[in-house]
A and B are shown apart, each in its own frame.
Chain A
Amino acid sequence: MPRLLLAEDDADLGPTMRRALEMEGYVVDLVTRGDDACAAARADNYDVILLDIGLPHGSGIDVLRSLRAAKNATPVIIVTAFDRTQQRIAGLDAGADDYVVKPVDLDELAARVRSQLRRRDGRGNEQLTIGAVTLDFAGNVVTLDGQVVPLTAKEHRLLALLMRRARRFVSKADLEAELYDQDNWAESNTVEVAISSLRRKLGRDFIRTARGLGYMVGAQAA
């Protein structure tokens, strides 16, 4: 069972987050001070650390720096109310693996923890998961809720491009270019045909579209 360290000083938010994460099946240790977080992270082997920045007795950034200086490579997700770009950059530069701004959706937080666990297990580079759809690059297999979905080569290529650029629009021109070398003269509606087939197989709302912008996956909650 994965063990999480949660460093959060707010007396209301901390226990609530712990409860929610425990419901996801994690073992959660809650600390409220920076120095305690440091000590706990050194004493125990956690799978993921959730770190607030505004902690008393050593800010989250200080904790993170001292962990990384001590060659502790545990994945760290910063969960903070500080939202300025410079603060995000400072957090990521200090060695954080992810940065979430409060108030954070509990489902999203759980998804981000899962993502860190996958990455730690070395599956991050071979697998992409968006919602219920997982693309395994190693086996070239796409699953929907764990069930293998058979895709044509074109569909697979389009889906891979969309998932690599998830949560952003991919223009029709880019999708056409992706198919170009495979199918020398792609028909003008090749992309549309493949997308509508993907939608049939993976769910209508899995691929969103906007005229003039292109297609996007990952718009739904993780």
Chain B
Amino acid sequence: MRRSSLTTQLYRRVLLLLAVTGIAIGAVLYLTASREVSRAADAQLINAARLVHIMVQDDIAAGQLAWRDKPPAQIRQMVSPQEAQAFRDSYDSCIFLVFWNGRAVAQSGSGAPVRLVPRQTGLRTFKVTGNRWRSYGMRGEDPRLLIVVAERDALREFSIGQLLRELAVPMLALLAVAMVVLWWTLRRGLYQVERLASILGARSLSDLQPLPPQEWPRDLEPLIIALNKLFARLEGAYELEQAFTDDVAHELRTPLAAIRAQAQLLHRLSPANLGHETDRLIGIADRANALIDGMLTLARLNATSLTSRSVDVHALVAEVVAEVMIEQQADTINVAVMPEHIVRWHCDASLLQIALSAVIGNAMRHAGSGRALDIAIVRGSGRLVITVGDRGPGIPEPERERLLRRFEHGSLQSSGSGLGLSVASKAMTLLNGSIRLEGRPDGPGLLVILTLPDLPR
């Protein structure tokens, strides 16, 4: 199932709301505007009627009674062609009719509209061959005079379809702009959430500092408070674990230190023929200590935080080889490292050092009769491979997997803690890398292959 995105969801809803609101506003605007326009059109109609009234005023004054028996053709002269032209100039789309005593005495144009015009005062609506017309009738001072002005009601025929056709392009453009602006606004609005995610993502595991709530919008406050509570609880748990391992380290190492010191003292004071026994005793104490070190390292690895940076792996190998040489007093081992220069890789330096210490320490102990140790650092595409090869007895294939697991001893008797390779394995897992044990094709010995991936920066 695809997980829903908060932004997309909000975007869809706001877009829908925007559309509904837009349509509603459009409808209201349309109704208001059409009412206003028809009111304006009616006012124009009334003005036109008044103009006609003015035009016929003088003729009526001249001899209204004389017209009674004359044929309509003569009376039509009441509105001169000049006057009719002036009317058409002002009210292009209007027609007018003048009735005297119920008979039409003057008119502009002819045809269906003229015949169908209602001979009534006031505003009327009528139909001519399916088209809506609007008329206005007014009486003169002499009630026998009736002036009717009519006009095709074009506005009411202005259909919504046509409106939409005309508005389509600007509306679509407006909509597109609104969508883009809306998306941008939403992304900006949710920027704080993204910022929170990136801040938390960039934190190392050990950074349990509470987030300052005043630096965040009020809406995020419950989340920030919940996170801070979680941080506090984790911190408590880490501290407890840390205190416990410190305690274990102290409690186990102190008696061991006493045993070792006693053995050394014994060695100095005892007759020469006991030297071998006291040396063995010291060796046993050292082995127990190595075991404690290994267990503590494993326990601490579980609560380790990763801080990746660019590391000179060659220098790290040099440091580890020096440490192991000093620690093991390995006098005659020939160590060779390839290449001879800086090799940089992006990873957690202390974890890699733990893995290298474990693997190189193990290899030095088991360097074997060949007394040779070959270390190679190879940068490949997207990964770094470090191989550590010794000339010791090697490890039989069925045992290799088992040795990488916790608290298991190889069958070899030696001063190793038996945890070295499992410590290395754990460290490599935390580094997102891997460890592999192989036999050597060119003779006896063990090849340990550490692979590190390229981390996203």
Contacts and interface: CB of A to CB of B under 8 A. Distances in A.
Instruction: Note whether A and B form a binding pair.
Output: yes
Contact of B264 (A12, A106, A169, A205): A106
B260 A103 contact: yes
Given A12-B262, A216-B322, A219-B326, A103 B337 contact: no
Interface residues of B, number: 39
B274 to A, nearest CB: 17
A71 interface: no
A211 B336 contact: yes
Contact of B262 (A16, A107, A167, A219): A16
B23 interface: no
B261 interface: yes
B258 A167 contact: no
B322 A20 contact: no
Interface in A130-175: 167-169, 171-172
A14 B275 CA distance: 23
Nearest to B268: A23
Contacts of A212: 336-340, 375
Interface string B312-356: 000001110110011001010011111110000000000000000
Interface string A46-75: 000000001000000000000000000000
B309 interface: no
Contacts of B249: 81-83
Contacts of B255: 10, 12-13
A20 B338 contact: no
B326 A210 contact: no
Contact of A214 (B257, B260, B286, B318): B318
Contacts of B331: 205
A19 B265 contact: yes
Nearest to B246: A82
B289 interface: yes
Nearest to A16: B261
Contact of A81 (B254, B259, B262): B254
A10 B319 CA distance: 34
B337 A210 contact: yes
B211 interface: no
A15 B331 CA distance: 33
A81 B260 CA distance: 14
Interface residues of A, number: 39
Contacts of A80: 250
B423 interface: no
B285 interface: yes
A187 interface: no
B256 interface: yes
Nearest to A220: B329
A218 interface: yes
B202 to A, nearest CB: 22
B264 A13 contact: no
Interface in A89-116: 101-107
Contacts of B317: 213
Given A106-B264, A168-B319, A211 B334 contact: yes
A218 B285 CA distance: 24
A147 B285 CA distance: 37
Given A54-B250, A214-B318, A106 B265 contact: yes
Given A12-B262, A103-B257, A81 B322 contact: no
B124 interface: no
Contacts of B335: 210-211, 213
B365 interface: no
A208 interface: yes
A171 B99 CA distance: 123
A103 B336 contact: no
Interface of B: 246, 249-250, 252-262, 264-265, 268, 285-286, 289, 296, 300, 317-319, 321-322, 325-326, 329, 331, 334-340, 375
| 8 closest A-B pairs by CB | A212-B337, A103-B257, A81-B253, A12-B258, A210-B335, A211-B336, A102-B257, A13-B258
17 contacts: A10-B254, A13-B255, A16-B261, A16-B265, A17-B261, A82-B249, A84-B246, A102-B257, A103-B260, A103-B286, A103-B289, A168-B318, A169-B318, A211-B336, A212-B336, A212-B337, A220-B329
Given A12-B262, A167-B326, 7 more contacts: A16-B258, A19-B265, A20-B265, A103-B256, A168-B319, A212-B340, A219-B322
